[in-house]
Each structure stands twice: as C-alpha cells, then as structure tokens.
Chain A
Amino acid sequence: MLKALAKLLAVLGSQTDPGQIALGAVLGMVAGLTPLAAPHNLLVLLLLLVLRANLSAFLVVFAAGSGLAYLADPLFHAVGLALLTAGPLQGLWTALYGVPALRLTRFNNSIVLGSVVLCLVLAVPVFLLCRAGVVRYRERVLARMRSLRVVQALTASRLFRLAREAAREWQGR
C-alpha cells in the first residue's frame, strides 16, 4: 500500500497523462466501493487491463474505497432498495430479472445496485475532478515545491542521490 502510494506520488510528479490517472482512480472507486465478488467487477478488470488506466491510482483508490465501503454500505443499501422497490421501475426490474444472464449480475441485490448506481453517478465528476486535480497539483504544488531552495539543495545533494539509488536498489529486489 505504501509502495503504491509512493508510486502514485511519483506518477503525480511524472509526465503521465492526468486522464489516465483519473481513469485509474474511477475504476479503483468502482472496484473498491462495490462488492468485489459481483460480476460487474470483471468488466472493471477488463477495462483496467485494456485501457491505459494508471494502476497505482487504481490500487490506492481501490484500497481506500474498500475501507470506505463498510461505512457506506447502509447508504448503498438504502439507495438500492429504494430503486428496487420503486413502483415505476418495477416493470424494468421484472423485465431484467426475466433475462437469466442479467440475473447473474446480481442487480437485484440492494447493495450491488445502490453502490453501482452511485459509482456511475460519481464516475464522471470524479474523473473530471481527478484530472483537474492532477493538473493543478503539477502546476502549482509540484512546481512551487521544486522551486524551493531547500528542495533544490536537497535534491542536488550527494546524500539525496545515494538515498534515491538505495531506494531503487531496494525496490529492484
């Protein structure tokens, strides 16, 4: 986890496309907040493998989302149950329930449906916010930190170089 966090910080400071980082975060959010064993996460895995989503961002957000999911389950359950029992939607659910392949998705489970729906609603805003956040971080925070004399002195020092080499060597084991 710390390794993934370190990598994420490195990625944030690298030239990686902010969109790819944001996509990794969105996929991590879906996988983390929704029940892991639900079949839709196979689709998330497929997208993660096929698309250039950033894996570090995915792992960090997935881990954070998994912890948050325990707290958010009552909310997911309430939203899912409200949707599943909403009168106007009964026809839709009944029709979907009649399709065996769709029933495999466990959409009729309150937490599965509630978490997936909330994740879908949040996906676009989270994507946009993450991408904008990465850009803003690189433009303001990172640039400002690099311009600090202390940082410049530290990064130029022999000690820093040795520490970075040691870290690389340790990571390479």
Chain B
Amino acid sequence: MAGVVRRWLRPKGLLLLGAVLVLLAGGWWLLADAVVRRAVEGTGTALVGARVDLARAEVGLFPPRVVLDGLEVTDPDAPMTNAVAVDHGELRLDGGALLGARFVVDTARLDGVRLHTPRARSGALARRPKDEREGGFALPSIDLPDAGEILKDHPLKSVAAGDALARDLKAARAAWEARIEALPGPDRVEDYRARLKALQGARKGGLEGALRTAKDLKSLTRDVEADLKTLRGAGDDLKGDVADYRRRVQEVAAGPAAEARELARRYAEGGAFGMGAAFLNETAERWSRTALAWYRRLDPLVSRAARAAGKARVERPARGRGVDVRFPEARPLPTFLVREAAVGVTLPGGTVTGTIRDATPDPAVLGRPLTFAFAGDDLKGLDAVRLEGALDRVDPARPDDRVDLRLKGVRVKDLALARGGALPVTLAAATADLAVTGGRRGDALDVKAKADLSGARFEAGGEGKAAEAVGEALAGVRRTRIEADLTGTPRAPKVAVRSDLDRVLAGAMRTLAQDRVKALEADLTAAISQRLDARLADARASLDALEGRAGPLAERRQDLNGLLADAVDAARPRLPF
C-alpha cells in the first residue's frame, strides 16, 4: 500500500499546491480592491459617457460585501461638474448567488449622495461638439419686413379673386349674348305686326270671318304674351346676375384691405410681437434634453435582452467560445441585482432619503420592475419633496415607466430661464409648487409638468424696445402658472409649454407693435390694390357692358307690349257707324 502511495502521490506537490493557494489568496488580498475599483470605474464610464472615479473600494468575503468610497460620476454635459457624488456606499452581497456567478446585492446603503458638485479635473472623455441650441434665447426682430418684400413671392388671394371675377364676367357676357340672341327680337315683333295687320284687313268677312279673326287675334295675343314672359324672365335673370357680380366686384375691391390686415398680423405674430413666453420653451427643452439623456443612460442598467423562463435557450452564437445554454430555474435570478438600496441624497437644504428596489438589467428574469421612492420635508429652501416611480421593463418590448415628482414651496432664486442671447430672462425670486407626472408607455412619452409660481420677480435683460417691453411686462407679473407637455419618443421628444406669461408678453408686444403694424397694413393695402386695379377695371367694364344688355331687352318688351295693346284694341268690336 505504501508503495502504491509512494508511486502515485507527490508529497512535494501538496506543498506546491499550498504555495499556489497562498499565492492566490495573497493576490486576492492585494488586487481584489483595485480590480473592483477599476471595474466600477470602467463600467460606469462606459455607461455614462464621461469619467466615473472611485477613490477606494474594499472587498470583504465574510460576510461578502463591497465598500465604495468617494464615487464621482461626471456630468457628460458639464465635465467640470459631477452629476452625482457618493461619499460612502456599502453593498451586502448574496454569497450563494455569487457562487452561481450572480452579483446580487441584498442591501445597499449609499450615504452622502450629492448632486452637481464641482470636480477638481475635467471628466470629459473626448471633446464633444457644442450644442448650438445652448446659445440662449434669440429675441426675434422688432422690425417688420416691408410690403414689397412680403409680396415678392406671396400668392395674393385678392388678385386671384380679381382674376376669377374677370374670367367669370367674360364667360357671363358670352353666355348672355348667346341667350339674348335666342330671345324674341325685332324680327319677331315685325312678324307679329304683319300678322296683326293681316288680321285687321280680314275683318270684313261677315260673322264667320269675324269669329275666325277673333280666334287668330287670341292666338296672336297668346304668342306675344309668351314672348313677353320669356323676355321678362331673361330680364329678371340678367338683373340678378348683374347684382351678384356687382357684389363680387365690391368684395374684390375690399379684398386688399382685408388681406393686408391678415398679412400684417401674421408677420407681426411671427416675430417679436407674437413670441409670448417663447423663452420658456428653450428652458423646458433644455431640461427635457438633460432628463432624457440621463434616462437613456440608465437604459442599459434597467433592461437588456429578454429572457423567457421555462425553456432552455441558446444565448450566444458559437465562434471559438461555444454557446451558453440557459436552463429554467426554480427561482431565477438576474446576473446583476440590487434588491434594496437605501439612499441619502444630500441637498444644499438638507437630506432627502429614499429607497430603490429591484434594480437589475434583467427585470424580465426577476419579474418585477425597478421602483423608487424618495421623500424629504422641511428642507432649507424647500418645504417638501416627494418622488416616486417605476422603471418597468418586465416586458422589454413594452416599457412602462412612471414618475411622480412633487415639490412644494421651492424657493427659487436667480434661475436663468433664458440664458444669454438677445433676451436673457431670469426668475430672480419666486416660491414654486411643482408637479411632474407621467411616463413612457411603449415608445411614447406622456409627461406633464405644472409649476405654480407666487411672489415671482422676473428680470429681463437685453437691449432695444422689444427687450424693454418684455422687461416692463414681466416686472408686473407676481403669480403665474407654467405648464409643459413632453410627448414624442425618448429619442425625438416634443415639448410644448403654456403659460400665463404668453398673454402678458403678447399684449405688451402688441402695444409696441401697433403703429408699425398699421403702417405695414396701409403699405400692403396700397401694393395689393395696385396689382388689382387693372383687373378690377376690366371687371367693372365687363359688368357695365352686361348691365347695358338690359336696355335692348326692355325695348323689346316695350315693342311687344305695344303690339299687345294694338292686338287687344283690334279685337275690340267696332260699331259700323
């Protein structure tokens, strides 16, 4: 037996194994902290797109835990500022899950979380192109364009109406010529006269002749009356047409003034005079962009490819490394999970505490969404804050994220609403109640924000009459409500802002604009009238000519009436003496 043991076992090998194990343990002791620190920095930097620094990491095995000190996450849009800084964090890990290659944090505690802290050195990874939209709100020009410039390429409704009128009148004239041609004319009157004369000559034929003459006279009278009726109808129609066209001529003649008024108003509203509180759009868009950029950066942390449970699935294509087949688990766990994290956010006015639950990039495996709830009361400069919400990616194809943020009694001071540009506007002081509710369902955003400001004091800078007018109007505003709707998609958001300030500012600018708009209106009226004059003169001439056709019709009626009188007279019995 001893021979077999000596033949097959190597006692020195056991010592060597011991040495290897000691080396491994020593390596762990020396390097584990640095490896974890590098891993946190590398992963964080890749996710955020700016430097993530960690001052110290400490890894413990019994119990399994990771301590992080001095975590700084650079704001990618402001490389000299940390978006988030965490003084101290401690993660308690699930040891059993670690054996299964799952990084599960049972409880996490993040203390001294601070927002927007200054950095000692830039955290930018690479120079990014400057966002041109950050240049401040450009005050639209107070000068209106001149009439010639406006009308240069502008299709005018008045001129088009004048052309249409001239065309219609020409067609109407031609139609009436044809119709009058077809009406009973002088030839017909002469014909009737000849028939009457013949009847008058035939009166001497005794009683039978008298009766036949009377019958023919009646027939003649009926024919004349029918023609008279036709002529009267045509006369009435002509009168109606002429009246219609006369009304249209008057309308076209009045067109330039109406169109000039509309154009002047449109150009006035499109410029400084109709801007309302447009500078708020810039602020709302800036905030929305920032919020959505962070929201998108969080995306890889809260969702990745879906994993259906209940069936073995091939995960990765084979190429030298084979494929991993995942099998259903009785209690499936994601590869990374923070079950519960207690977070204390240190704001200038105090501390807001909250909890984040079920943070994992595989919520489909966990079957529960990430939820968060934060609250703080009686803070300096803020009465109360409540933030609740969920990032629900349990069905990765249909994200259902919700947020409900309420800030009460926020003391606002020197908040730049429009930075730089021609109209810098600052909210120098106000007390605000803010509510942001909504979320994302599928790819559609639907977030509503509402801010009620009281005790407001606005300050507007800039030069020129428009800036002065805005400044004066804002100086009188003490209370206002600002509402914003965020729609569209996370990649293509749309922001719409409404505010009482719109009305106030638009009113102020209208007053300022009144004289300029009136002058522009007069110029436009003259210019449009000039273009229309020739067409209108043609139309009037055509109308006069058309109206002139009523005279011959009346003459024909007169002739026929005379003839009818003669016929009636001829039919009257005459005494032989």
Residues of A within 8 A of B (CB): 17, 19-20, 35, 45-46, 48-52, 70, 73, 76-77, 80-81, 84-85, 90, 93-94, 97-101, 103-104, 106, 108-112, 114
Which of B17, B100, B324 is in CB contact (< 8 Å) with A50? B17
User: Whole-angstrom distance from the CB of B8 to the nearest CB of chain A?
Assistant: 6
Fill in one digit per residue for B466-497: 1 if any A CB lies within 8 Å of its CB, else 0: 00000000000000000000000000000000
Contact status of A103 and B101, CB under 8 A, knowing A52-B10, A110-B318, A110-B325: yes
B14 interfacial contact with A, CB 8 Å: yes
Number of interface residues of B (CB under 8 A): 30
User: Whole-angstrom distance from the CB of A41 to the nearest CB of chain B?
Assistant: 13
Contact status of A111 and B322, CB under 8 A, knowing A49-B10, A49-B14: yes
Whether B100 and A103, one on each chain, are in contact in the complex, defined by CB atoms closer than 8 angstroms, is: yes
Q: Interface-forming stretch among B49-57, B326-334, B379-387, B400-408?
A: B326-334
Please report the C-alpha to C-alpha distance between residue A73 and residue B326 in the assembled complex, in whole angstroms: 20
Please report the C-alpha to C-alpha distance between residue A51 and residue B10 in the assembled complex, in whole angstroms: 5
The chain B residue sitting closest to A76, CB to CB, is B322
Whether A51 and B8, one on each chain, are in contact in the complex, defined by CB atoms closer than 8 angstroms, is: yes
Whether B8 and A49, one on each chain, are in contact in the complex, defined by CB atoms closer than 8 angstroms, is: no
Fill in one digit per residue for B1-38: 1 if any A CB lies within 8 Å of its CB, else 0: 00000011110011011001000000000000000000
Please report the C-alpha to C-alpha distance between residue A46 and residue B102 in the assembled complex, in whole angstroms: 26
Whether B14 and A93, one on each chain, are in contact in the complex, defined by CB atoms closer than 8 angstroms, is: no
User: Whole-angstrom distance from the CB of A72 to the nearest CB of chain B?
Assistant: 12
Whether B100 and A101, one on each chain, are in contact in the complex, defined by CB atoms closer than 8 angstroms, is: yes
- A99 partner residues in chain B, CB cutoff 8 A: 100
Which of B16, B100, B322 is in CB contact (< 8 Å) with A109? B322
B126 interfacial contact with A, CB 8 Å: no
Whether A110 and B99, one on each chain, are in contact in the complex, defined by CB atoms closer than 8 angstroms, is: no
B42 interfacial contact with A, CB 8 Å: no
Contact status of A101 and B320, CB under 8 A, knowing A17-B7, A52-B9, A94-B327: no
Whether A104 and B327, one on each chain, are in contact in the complex, defined by CB atoms closer than 8 angstroms, is: no
Please report the C-alpha to C-alpha distance between residue A114 and residue B8 in the assembled complex, in whole angstroms: 29
User: Whole-angstrom distance from the CB of A105 to the nearest CB of chain B?
Assistant: 10
- B101 partner residues in chain A, CB cutoff 8 A: 100, 103-104
Please report the C-alpha to C-alpha distance between residue A84 and residue B322 in the assembled complex, in whole angstroms: 12
User: Whole-angstrom distance from the CB of B328 to the nearest CB of chain A?
Assistant: 6
B150 interfacial contact with A, CB 8 Å: no
Please report the C-alpha to C-alpha distance between residue A82 and residue B99 in the assembled complex, in whole angstroms: 26
B96 interfacial contact with A, CB 8 Å: yes
The chain A residue sitting closest to B95, CB to CB, is A100
User: Which of B100, B312, B323, B327 has the most chain A CB atoms inside 10 A of its CB?
Assistant: B327
Whether B318 and A93, one on each chain, are in contact in the complex, defined by CB atoms closer than 8 angstroms, is: no
B97 interfacial contact with A, CB 8 Å: yes
User: Which of A17, A19, A109 has the most chain B CB atoms inside 10 A of its CB?
Assistant: A109
B321 interfacial contact with A, CB 8 Å: yes
Q: Which 4 pairs between the two chains have the least Cβ-Cβ distance?
A: A100-B100, A111-B322, A49-B13, A110-B322
The chain B residue sitting closest to A90, CB to CB, is B312
Taking A20-B7, A100-B100, A108-B325 as known contacts, 16 extra A-B pairs with beta carbons closer than 8 A to each other, sorted by chain A number, are: A50-B17, A51-B9, A73-B320, A81-B314, A81-B318, A84-B312, A85-B314, A90-B312, A93-B325, A97-B326, A97-B327, A98-B329, A98-B330, A99-B100, A108-B326, A109-B324
Please report the C-alpha to C-alpha distance between residue A98 and residue B331 in the assembled complex, in whole angstroms: 8
Whether B100 and A46, one on each chain, are in contact in the complex, defined by CB atoms closer than 8 angstroms, is: no
Whether A104 and B99, one on each chain, are in contact in the complex, defined by CB atoms closer than 8 angstroms, is: yes
User: Which of B99, B322, B327, B330 has the most chain A CB atoms inside 10 A of its CB?
Assistant: B322
The chain A residue sitting closest to B315, CB to CB, is A108
User: Whole-angstrom distance from the CB of B9 to the nearest CB of chain A?
Assistant: 6
Whether B323 and A46, one on each chain, are in contact in the complex, defined by CB atoms closer than 8 angstroms, is: no
Please report the C-alpha to C-alpha distance between residue A35 and residue B20 in the assembled complex, in whole angstroms: 21
User: Whole-angstrom distance from the CB of A109 to the nearest CB of chain B?
Assistant: 5
Whether B327 and A108, one on each chain, are in contact in the complex, defined by CB atoms closer than 8 angstroms, is: yes
The chain B residue sitting closest to A17, CB to CB, is B7
Whether A97 and B322, one on each chain, are in contact in the complex, defined by CB atoms closer than 8 angstroms, is: no
- A108 partner residues in chain B, CB cutoff 8 A: 324-327
- A112 partner residues in chain B, CB cutoff 8 A: 322
The chain A residue sitting closest to B326, CB to CB, is A108
Whether B323 and A110, one on each chain, are in contact in the complex, defined by CB atoms closer than 8 angstroms, is: yes
Please report the C-alpha to C-alpha distance between residue A73 and residue B320 in the assembled complex, in whole angstroms: 7
Q: In chain B between 324 and 370, which residues have their CB closer than 8 angstroms to a CB of chain A?
A: 324-330
Please report the C-alpha to C-alpha distance between residue A90 and residue B17 in the assembled complex, in whole angstroms: 37
Please report the C-alpha to C-alpha distance between residue A133 and residue B68 in the assembled complex, in whole angstroms: 59
Whether B17 and A81, one on each chain, are in contact in the complex, defined by CB atoms closer than 8 angstroms, is: no
User: Whole-angstrom distance from the CB of B27 to the nearest CB of chain A?
Assistant: 14
User: Whole-angstrom distance from the CB of A88 to the nearest CB of chain B?
Assistant: 13
The chain B residue sitting closest to A78, CB to CB, is B318
Contact status of A49 and B7, CB under 8 A, knowing A90-B327, A108-B327: no
User: Whole-angstrom distance from the CB of B361 to the nearest CB of chain A?
Assistant: 19
